[in-house]
Chain A
Amino acid sequence: MKKIIAMLLAMAMLMCMLPAMADSAIDTSEHVKIVYLVTGDKPTNRTDEILGKINEILTEKINAELEFRWIEWTDWQTQYNLALATQSGDIDLIGTATDWLDAWPNCQKGAFLALSEDMLKTYAPKTWESVSEAHWDLCKYNGEIYLMPEDNYAQWTNHGFMYRQDWAREAGLENGVHSWADLAVYFQYVKDNKEDVIPWDANGNGSSYSPQMAGGWQVSHTGNIAIEGFPVPIFYGESKENPYTLSRYYLEGDELVNFAKEMKKWADAGYWRADVLNYTGDVAGEMEEGKTAAHQHHTQTWTGERTTMERKQPGSDLGFFWFGEEMNNLIALNITHGAMAVAAQSKHPERALMVYDLMRNDPEIYHLMQYGIEGEMYTVDENGLFSRPEGFEDSTDGVSFNFWWGRNDNLEYKNAQLDWDAIDALYAKYDEVKIDYPYGQYIYDNSMVGVFMDNLSNVYNTYMPRIVFGMNDDPEALVAEFRQALQDAGIEMVMTEIQNQLDAVYAK
């Protein structure tokens, strides 16, 4: 009898071990399709053809293939959040971001799958190793990892104004534009001397100028640091010396009033059109045609635009005045400005991780995805710079995976067509003054004051466009009205709550 029991026990133990053994070699016998949710317009270039090639490799390596689900730029915020909310196993990989794609709110609403260390080690081993522990910590919510960050890719997305240095020199700004005051001189010169050129033909119909311009003035005149992830962009830390105390910039003090007054002056001087708030033009396109003299966007855009402008407006020597320059107030990009997540309802989370690991780390797939077919669509010179063949048009000949969620500098080629002397000079300046984003550990919890936040959002979107574009008779009175409306909407209560949340994370 004892023998039988012993044998049964031994067998039971063996049985227990079987699945464990099967685990060590990953089962990829079933061919699966991994759907990748990505923002961008459905490409009309050679993307599908390249995807076919990549799928051959993926099928061979892990018996999976990749499929796109595009969130087109029309109404993208709504479409994106809707796709996440209505997922039913139809998406697997989700490109996301904590600053511009609501990664944390979506995470709190249950859109993403928690990724255990075991899962990452087993199915995305290269990614797991390449991301440091400190960086993984920034991807955690309630102690679980939800995001795989794009933390090995150098880029700058701080905003500012692109302007023509040839015209700036004509305007007497020998060293270019380095302050808002310089910018006013530049605009006035253009207004007075360049016929049919609108100094800055802003398309103020969208909602993005408000935080960019108001925040731009703010970081240029104070040491305030923007905290990301709020539905209303009015929450800033006091300074780099005192980052965890909320700034009261929007509630009191003169700087916001100064901003409103200055913009009112600019509006009256005609630096933009009178109906700017309803105008929906393409500013970059107008600048390339020489119809406007400035374009407000970020550094990364400038690096490409400088080359384009040199081609379309030779000698324009496009410069970049970055917000914060006067105060040397610059925050390095948060590593979750781009990140990949796995959909909560994904039926094949393991294989999705495997696909991502290859996209991010496999040189062959990475180069296909980012540049296309070597020799035919691009060449790489001995310095590791890539060039496109003569007459190459990205919109028809290129490849667009919009893979902004795991770019990898180890595998990137620099673009030979960009002006690296100018870019490196600016980056060197940035590196001198930048500080790391101080709020990586903090995730705003909307559950306590969400109702008030929605009303603040309305107040902000009602007043800020009028302040930013000087659409008012009395800027001082308008700011006072804005501040009163913030008070009425419960700003103090919200500030107290956020301060408490910050203290809970950072108070020593």
Chain B
Amino acid sequence: MYCLQKTVTPPQKKYVKPSLGRTLGQNKALILMCLPAILFFFVFSYLPMPGAYIAFTNFQYNKGIFASPFVGLKNFEFLFISGQLGLLLRNTILYNIAFIVLGNVVQLAFAILLNEVGSKIYKKTAQSIMFLPYFISDVLVSLLVYNLINYDYGFISNLVRSLGGTMPKVYQDANAWPFIIVLVNLWKSTGYGTVVYFAAITGMDSSMMEAAQIDGANAWQRIRFITLPTLKPTVVILFLFAIGGILKGNFGLFYNLVGNNSMLFKTTDIIETYVYRSMMNSFNFSQSSAVGLFQSVVGFFIVLGANAFVKHLDPDYALF
């Protein structure tokens, strides 16, 4: 084989990059299948982009975005002169790191465990039940949490008291909330993420598994040396996607769980809730857009950085 290849190497032909039209023509079916997604992102992500200009204006309703007076970076001032930015950044980023790292680890673990389960019925049922919390609105989640842990009448409080213990006043203790919020977020998102990983596992080449089994690899070894390495690209891609939003908090979750309870702000205030509290009365579009733009731009550079880092480690895993 080796010899043959060597001898039959054709004379060096200059590589010509196929024209765009030709590429498109060759991949008609693929492009057609992508079209809905392309349209979606075009309409909802690219078309509105010029509107980000609103962050640099003093927006007037009757003039529209582009005719409103230009004010430069004035709308960005408020976030920086507040003196809160450090705390907000710390909370937002730490929560997101906890969500991303813990979330992915737990999801991965559940997906692998599910895959090892033999019973199909159990697999399906477990998946569905795990998925359910994802659909429960944050408003309801907050009510559930309140009715579990509120001091006077909460379910857990009553349980603790009936067992002779003393229930701490959780809604007055800022230190308890990072755990509660991370836990609630895990409860909500694990089912969804598990399905993604589970799908990736199902898509694996089964012949590898069979070969390993014949070679006498036990379950743990199969997971360690086949499943995990196969999932690596998926993990890296999901991580890169997630990290772009590291400055963005889940407003619905935080606002509903904490509300206006300022005793908890020290550990629960994120950029979104702060912006809401500062601007719920003044309703300033330009300023809130400025904050959003700030988050997006920083997120963009973080993605670029992370992607470059991944590329440096292993070019195959990078997004672009």
Contacts and interface: CB of A to CB of B under 8 A. Distances in A.
Interface of A: 77-78, 81, 84-85, 87, 102, 105-106, 109-111, 204-207, 231-232, 273-275, 277-280, 344-345, 446-447, 450-451, 453-455, 457-458, 461-463, 465-466, 471, 488-489
A38 to B, nearest CB: 19
A466 B63 CA distance: 41
Contacts of A455: 78, 81-82, 278
Interface stretch (B31-39, B186-194, B282-290): B282-290
A280 B152 CA distance: 14
B82 A274 contact: no
Contact of B171 (A277, A446, A451): A277
Interface stretch (B7-15, B89-97, B143-151, B214-222): B143-151
Interface of B: 58-63, 74, 77-78, 81-84, 142-143, 146, 150-153, 169, 171-172, 258-263, 265, 274, 277-285, 287
Contact of A466 (B263, B278, B287): B263
Given A109-B61, A489-B82, 7 more contacts: A110-B60, A110-B61, A274-B169, A275-B152, A278-B258, A447-B58, A457-B281
A461 B274 CA distance: 10
B260 A205 contact: yes
Given A109-B59, A275-B152, A463 B260 contact: no
Contacts of A231: 281-282
A274 B278 contact: no
B265 to A, nearest CB: 6
Contact of B143 (A280, A344, A458, A471): A280
A454 B62 contact: no
B260 to A, nearest CB: 5
A274 B172 contact: yes
A81 to B, nearest CB: 4
B283 A457 contact: no
B172 A471 contact: yes
Contacts of A78: 280, 283
Given A275-B150, A458-B82, A471-B172, A450 B282 contact: yes
Contacts of B274: 458
B281 A232 contact: yes
A204 B260 CA distance: 8
A457 B277 contact: yes
Given A275-B146, A277-B171, A451-B81, A457 B278 contact: yes
Nearest to B150: A275
Q: Which 5 A-B pairs have the closest CB atoms?
A: A110-B62, A231-B281, A277-B261, A274-B151, A231-B282
B169 to A, nearest CB: 6
17 contacts: A77-B280, A78-B280, A81-B283, A84-B61, A110-B60, A110-B62, A231-B281, A273-B153, A274-B152, A277-B263, A278-B261, A279-B150, A450-B284, A454-B284, A458-B82, A462-B265, A462-B277
